[in-house]
Amino acid sequence: MPPKAVKPPVGSYRPPEELVEVVDERDRPIAVMSLAEAHRQRLYHRSVLVLVYDRENRLYLQRRVKTKNSYPGCFDLSATGHVQAFESREDAGLRELHEELGLSVPRLAHLASLAASPQTAFEFSTLFSAGLVPDDPRPNPEEVEDGFFAGPDDVEDLVEHFRDLLTPALLHCHEHGLLFPWEPREKGLCPFPRIPSPPGA
- pLDDT tens-digit map of 72-116: 999 999 999 999 999 999 999 999 999 999 999 999 999 999 999
Position 1 scores a pLDDT of: 55
In a domain, 164, yes or no: yes
Position 69 scores a pLDDT of: 86
Structural domain total, the chain:
1
In a domain, 12, yes or no: no
pTM for this entry: 0.83
In a domain, 60, yes or no: yes
Reported confidence tier of residue 118, pLDDT bands at 50, 70, 90:
confident
CATH label of the domain that carries residue 105: 3.90.79.10
Position 120 scores a pLDDT of: 86
Position 181 scores a pLDDT of: 79
Give phi and psi for 173, each to the nearest 5.
-65, -35
In a domain, 190, yes or no: no
Position 158 scores a pLDDT of: 97
In a domain, 118, yes or no: no
In a domain, 30, yes or no: no
182/32: higher pLDDT: 32
Give the pLDDT mean for 170-189. Answer: 74
Strand blocks (E) in the chain:
19-23, 29-34, 45-53, 59-64, 75-76, 79-82, 109-114, 123-132, 144-150
In a domain, 27, yes or no: no
Cα separation, 129 vs 109, in Å, equals 5
Domain of residue 97 covers 46-109+124-175
Residue 28: burial class (beta carbons within 10 Å; 0-12, 13-18, 19+): exposed
In a domain, 193, yes or no: no
Q: pLDDT tens-digit profile of 36-56? A: 999 999 999 999 999 999 999
Reported confidence tier of residue 200, pLDDT bands at 50, 70, 90:
very low
